[in-house]
Every structure is written in structure tokens, then in C-alpha cells.
Structure 1
Amino acid sequence: MEALDIIFQQYQKNPRVTTDTRQITTGDIFIALKGGNFDGNNFAKKALEMGAALAVVDDRSIEGDGIVYVENGLFALQELARMYRRTLKIPFIGLTGTNGKTTTKELIVAVLSSKYKVAATKGNLNNQIGVPLTILSIPSDAQVAVIELGANHPLDIDELTSIAMPDLGLITNVGMAHLEGFGSFEGVKRTKGELYDFINSVNGTIFLNTDNSYLVQMAQERKVASTVAYGMSKMGVEILTKDIDHPFLRMRVDKGEMEGITLETQLVGDYNADNVLAAVTIGLHFRISVDHIKKALNEYTPTNNRSQLMRTSKNLVIVDCYNANPTSMEAAISNFTKFNVGSKIAILGDMLELGEASASEHVKIVNLAEQLGVENLLLVGPEFVSVAGSTSAILFTNSNELIEYLKANPIENSLVLVKGSRGIKLENALSLL
């Protein structure tokens, strides 16, 4: 019997797969993966001692009962996921994009869960390891799956769609991110467009934001046969004014099935409007009632430092420091300046992985902040420091310097935006705000 058949037979008996011995329970399948700083093969015997039924390894020097040899642990994990995916006869929604993937995924899950048993990507397990683990964690009684697909390099989405095999697809947007891996904005569009390619190949359906000219062009170039359109223009959306009493995104819909409905969320930022409308559109596609959609969106609370609003004892803080790129940074600053409040302070951290475009993109953000009238600006990170020039901003090379400044100069009675790439660790300063 082939190794993968042995592994799949065990999976059908006990559908639990892990790559981490710290998560082992009796009967699990442990698959050893290798990385730059670790070799899971070294933990195979420990996994068996802890109760794993099988330890899948690609090191033939490891011997013993319960050891299964494969040529490549990662490939075995991915192929096992494909084998299981082919047994699931439920709708699979594949989701990618430069910004808003995780928030959009969570909104979609919130809406669909009002009627169906939904399986979805946990956190941001959206890469070559996370996607197969997500699929292998889907219970057999799930009614719909929502799979987030991340990408840093060309053909990443092509690889992930071959594992997840979605029949419904959504690209939230395309923008300037991970340029070190993609090489250019055109590279971003080609890679994200691989989702449309796959959906088209299986005669599936894409949800298309027709306000986004890039996405419309990408769909037209690929001659996508089946689309469900959405967008602020198509749905007649008006974003309602924000103030200190109404800081969250609120929007009125004046066209289509949601006509006359006001959607209230607990999300910060007008840039989340498209994410909300994507969830609305998918909900309607799955025949979920308007009332249930409205309720689900209203009750969803963001986590993980994404579009969160914190009312502290001293300030109102917009926390959006999970990730940052030029597109999301511009949207965050623009939204921040629309708040009708008194004192406003923006704390911005470097945008990472921009390659040769990094300096020019950081200059653009500094200029944008000045153009939009951000008077109190704190910039954190070597990229911002190197390009800030004659700006009136206060500069810090890292978050530790920022923390020391905030201890000596506490911020009070202000609206504070905290936005930057995760590697800058701005979240370490939140307790001082």
C-alpha cells in the first residue's frame, strides 16, 4: 500500500493532523515538516510516544512502528488535504486580496453562520501549510467552507487553489504589498488573478466588486463566465457621518435586496465598506435573510489588532497594527482625518517587504499625512526615519523608543491612530494609550 493511502486510512479513522508535537492527542497523525531553523523529523519519535498513531517523515534514518516514509513532508500534507477535499461536496469559497482578507473572511463567516454550519480558516493560516491544515480540520458535517488564501510570491495562489479547489471566489482588492516577492504591482495582479483562473476552470462563480477597475479588468481579461456583482455604486451605499458618539462604520443601502436598510458595524474605517458589502452579497447569494445579515454584521467584533476601536481611560484608540502596506496605510489615514473630534494623533510604523519601492512609498505616506492635515504625527521605524526629512513629525527608530517617549509625554483626551506592519511591534505601546 502506498504511503499516502496508509495515512489517509488513518485520517478517516481519526481525522486529526498536526505538525506540532505540543498539540498531539491520542490517535493523531504527526507530519514532520522542515524549515530554515527546524526539522520536524527530530520530533517523530516524541510524537509517537505522546500518542500519535502515525509519524510521517522524510528522513529514512528514522525507524520504528508507526513511522511512515514520504519523499517530502510538506507535499504529503498538501496531497492528504487534496484527497480529503475531493470527498467534501459542499460549497468552497476561496478568498484572497491585498488588504482586508481576514476581516472579510470573518464577516462572511459571521453572516453565513446565521444559517449554516461553517468551516473557515482560523486566524491567518492561509499559506502552503495553513491551507491544507485548515482543510483537514473541516468536519464532515460542515455545510460551507470559507478558505483564506495568502500570497507573497508568483504562483502562490495557483498552488493554494489546487489544494482548496474553491468553486466560489472573491478578491477583496489588489494593491502595493509584498513587492519584494511579487516584483511589481503587475506581479501582484497576476498572482491574485490566479484565483479567477481556477474558478473559471471549474465553471465556478466569482463575487466581483465592480467599483474596483483593477478587479473588473482582471475578470474581463480572463473571460470569467459567472459573476455576482457588488459595490458601493451598484448597491447605492451612503456612508454615514462619524463622530465621538458614532465612531463605527455605518452605511445606508438604497438599491437592490437591501434597499432602505442601514447597516451598523463595530468596525472602524470607511475602507471596511467593501468588506461589509462582500459579506452582504455572499449572504444574499446563500439565501440568508436581510434581518439575519444585518444582525450578524452588527454583532461582529473585530480582534487581533485589525480595525479595532479601544476606549481606554485616557483616549479613543484606533488599533490597526496587524499589518500595513501603502494601500491600507492611505485608507487608514484618510479615514482617521474624517473623524469630527478635537485632538488627533497618528502613530505610524514602517511598511515592510516593499523592496526597492520602500523609500518612495514611505515618502508618499508622509506627504499624504501632511496634505490631509495630520498635525500630530509620530513615525516609528528606520524607513520612516530615513525619509522624513524636514517634516514636523516626531521620529523613533523602533517601538521601544516610542514607549519611552509615551511614558515621558502621556497622551490624553485624544483620538489616536496606531497603524504599522506587525514587525514594528506598535502593539507594545497600546497599554500606554
Structure 2
Amino acid sequence: MTIETIYNTFLTCSAVCTDTRKITKNCMFFALKGDNFNGNTFAEAALDKGASFVIIDEKQYQKSEQYILVDDVLKTLQALATIHRKSLNIPIIALTGSNGKTTTKELINAVLSKSYITTATIGNLNNHIGVPLTLLSMTKATEIGIVEMGANHQKEIEFLTHIALPDFGLITNFGKAHLEGFGSIEGVIKGKSEMYDFLKAHHKTIFINKNDALQVKQVGNYKNTVVFGSQTQLLKAQPYISIAYKNEIITTHLTGTYNYNNVSVAIAIGEHFNVSTKAIIKAIESYIPNNNRSQIVKKNGHHIILDAYNANPTSMHAALSNFEQLNNTNKVAILGDMFELGNEAKSEHQAIANYANELQIEQVILVGENFNTTTKHDRISYFKSFEDLKSKFDTFSFKDQMILIKGSRGMALERIMELL
């Protein structure tokens, strides 16, 4: 069966699905494979639960015309997404970067959805499976698509851009993330800049922060750009950031000066798509972060900056710097290991430990095997694991404190909330 025929069949379905636990009536199920599962074995169950068709790549599971046999389910999903993207004929905005991708995507969506019907990446489904699923979730009603793209090695962004075929793109920043896969910060810059390479090659539009010299250098003299960074001014971040914009003050629910650029690009994109100033301001002010990303939570007298979704050396340094600048006294930073740093893990964890030791933060607690192997500072408390910290948590007398909680996803430091 040709991919065009499969696409015509897809158009008769209500949605696509890759998980039998989330089957919806009349969906098309893609029997993807993973390290520990074979989706082909779930094809029959998907039909029993209401799927209209299942895409499989192992002939022994084919039992009726509802089973569509292909050479490779994943490649079919990706090819189908590109065909669908072309058929929609709508502007697609793609973004990547080392830090702040998901928050920026949510801000852009909040702004554009004031004037358009938008479809954006759900959560951080930003890889070789998530990007196709995002595209296939777009309908004829969608007026603008917003696609987040993540990567941990070279050529991944290049691959994703050729699936999504974006008309507009941006990179939030270049940072020390996924060094294990990229090899170095230079590798990160090269890998993320594959976004720029695609946009330039296809004469598409780049949104560029004029205040980020590294990005300006990567874009070079390419003319089809929308420059931002002068429309707004950061006023304060105590703890939420306030921004001056067109003789108005935007008061956000975002903490950290590092979120200023994320807001700025959302405003620039809103302006480019002719969203009114009033609607832009309302969208930014109404956006409340969640999912452990720069959330401020009040609990038992504590003000907690819960930023435990992920961490890398760049974002960790920025979070600590911002935390020190807050006016509050009696501050505690609880930091967890940063993953995917490869050969740089030891030196990067040592650098963060050294930096935290220098700051005017009353108490620093480091959690994880990487932090535990660094050269120790007397004023810092070290724990090999979360369980180790949990067993000794009662020895700390926390009372009415400002607490920063940050670590990589694998550390799951949001569990500390249960201990406070």
C-alpha cells in the first residue's frame, strides 16, 4: 500500500495513537517498537478498544483489512506527518534550543491563540516520534502550528525540520546540554544551528535575538530575519519578572531573568502575526508555568521555586544566579545531578558546586552520585541519592524559607515537596 493510500485512510480516522492505553474511537494505531516492547503485539487490542486501523510491520500479525502492513511503522508515521503538513498549507513555527524550549513554546501558543486557532506540541513531545504526532494532530481548523524540537546529537534537528518543513524558526539559546551526545559546546551550537541551516536553505524566516551575539553570528548576513530584543525591557525579577512593553508593564507568573528572552520572542512573534498589543499583554500575564518548570509554590510557610523538570550546567548556573539576586533572606538551594554530560560530568558538577559555594545563599544541598564525588565544601551538605537525603531530611530545620529545587528529570526532585 502506498503512503498516499495510507494518508487517504488516515483522513477517515479521528486521530492517531501509539499507546493502547490511550485509544480513542475511530483512531489509527501505529504499532511502534521500543527497546522493551513490540507494538505489533498490541495491534489486535487496539482494534478491540475502538481503533479503526492499525499500522504494523510484521506480517504474522495481519488478520484483516484493518491491519495495514508497511515496511517500517516509524518511517511510515514520519512520512505521513510530512504529507499531512504539506496538505494543511499553514504556517509552521519551529523552535529548539538548550534551555527554555517548552516554556517558550507555551508562551508563543498563549499569544497566538488569542487571534488564531493554533496546534502546538503537547508537553515536550519533541523528538522523532513527538514531532510527527504533533503534526498529525493538526486539523483543517488549525491556522498556525507550533512545533518544539529537541535533540541530543548531531543531525537530529536537521531530520526533524525535514519532517515538519517549518516556515519560521528560532533557537532559544545555546547551552551545555546533552554534551554526552553533542561532544562539546561547539557540538551543541552546530547541532542546534541545523534549524538555521534548514530555514536559510529554504528561504524561510528566522526570529533572532539581537542581544545574543552567538546566535547573531550563526545567522550571519541572512536577510530574512525578524529581530527582537529592543521592543521590551526587563524591569525586575523579585521573584516574578516584570517587563516594560509599549508604555505598559507586563507582570508575569514567571520567575528568573532567564525567562525574559522567552517572553520577548513570544511578543515578537505575536507582533509579526498582528496580534494586538492588548491581547499579547493579556496572554503573557495569564500564562502560569506548570510541570515543575519555574513554578513558585507556597507550602507550609515556604516559597518554593520548583524547577525540577530538567537541568544542565547552563540552566543550573542561571537558576542559582537568579536565586541569589532575590531579596529574600534565609534561602536554601537543593540541587540534583545533571545527566547526559559524558566526559564533562565531573568537571561540570564541580563547577556548579564551586559556584554555589561562592553565592550568598544560606544553605546549599547537593543530591546525586555526581555531586557526591566532587571536592567537598564545608558549608554544603552532600547526599548520594534522594533516598539518602530523605532519610536525613528531619535533621534540617526548615522554617519559612525560600527554596530552590532544581535537577535533571531522572532525579525527580519534586519528591522533596512531600518532605517539606
TM range (shorter): over 0.9
- Please, which of 239, 248, 268 is the counterpart of residue 235 of structure 2? 239
Counterpart-to-counterpart distance in 2, 1:388 and 1:33: 45
Alpha-carbon shift at residue 241 of structure 1 (Å): 5.4
Partner of 1:164: 164
RMSD: 1.3
CA separation of 1:171 and 1:164: change in aligned 2, threshold 3 A = same
Matched residue of 1:265: which SS?
strand
User: Are the aligned partners of 1:161 and 1:198 in contact in 2 as well (CA < 8 Å)?
Assistant: yes
Partner of 1:264: 251
User: Are the aligned partners of 2:293 and 2:308 in contact in 1 as well (CA < 8 Å)?
Assistant: yes
Alpha-carbon shift at residue 407 of structure 1 (Å): 3.3
Q: How does 1:96-115 map to 2 (within 5 A)?
A: 96-115=96-115
Partner of 1:249: 241
Partner of 1:205: 205
Deviations 1:378-426 (A, max 9, x none): 0000100100423421111111222232234341111000011011111
Counterpart-to-counterpart distance in 2, 1:417 and 1:325: 15
Deviations 1:50-107 (A, max 9, x none): 2322211111222211111111110000001011011112111001000000000001
Partner of 1:309: 296
User: Are the aligned partners of 1:200 and 1:225 in contact in 2 as well (CA < 8 Å)?
Assistant: no
Partner of 1:196: 196
Deviations 1:267-310 (A, max 9, x none): 11111000010111111111111111111111100000001101
Partner of 2:227: 229
User: Are the aligned partners of 1:3 and 1:69 in contact in 2 as well (CA < 8 Å)?
Assistant: no
Return the letter of the residue paired with 1:382. Answer: E
Partner of 1:84: 84
Alpha-carbon shift at residue 48 of structure 1 (Å): 2.0
Return the letter of the residue paired with 1:100. Answer: G
Return the letter of the residue paired with 2:128. Answer: Q
The 10-residue stretch of structure 1 (288-297 or 5-14) with the greater mean CA deviation from structure 2: 5-14
1:59 to 2:46 alignment: no
Alpha-carbon shift at residue 133 of structure 1 (Å): 0.6
Partner of 2:281: 294
Q: How does 1:19-418 map to 2 (within 5 A)?
A: 19-65=18-64, 66-220=66-220, 223-231=221-229, 234-235=230-231, 237-240=233-236, 242=238, 247-253=239-245, 258=246, 260-418=247-405
Alpha-carbon shift at residue 235 of structure 1 (Å): 3.4
Matched positions, count: 419
Q: Output the TM-score relative to the length of structure 2.
A: 0.97
Alpha-carbon shift at residue 3 of structure 1 (Å): 3.9
Counterpart-to-counterpart distance in 1, 2:271 and 2:378: 48
Structure 2: where are the runs of 5+ without partners? none
Counterpart-to-counterpart distance in 2, 1:225 and 1:49: 54
Deviations 1:100-154 (A, max 9, x none): 0000000111111111111100000000000101110112111111100010111
User: Are the aligned partners of 2:234 and 2:260 in contact in 1 as well (CA < 8 Å)?
Assistant: no
Return the letter of the residue paired with 1:239. Answer: L
The 10-residue stretch of structure 1 (101-110 or 58-67) with the greater mean CA deviation from structure 2: 58-67
Q: Percent identical across equivalent pairs?
A: 44
The 10-residue stretch of structure 1 (170-179 or 409-418) with the greater mean CA deviation from structure 2: 409-418
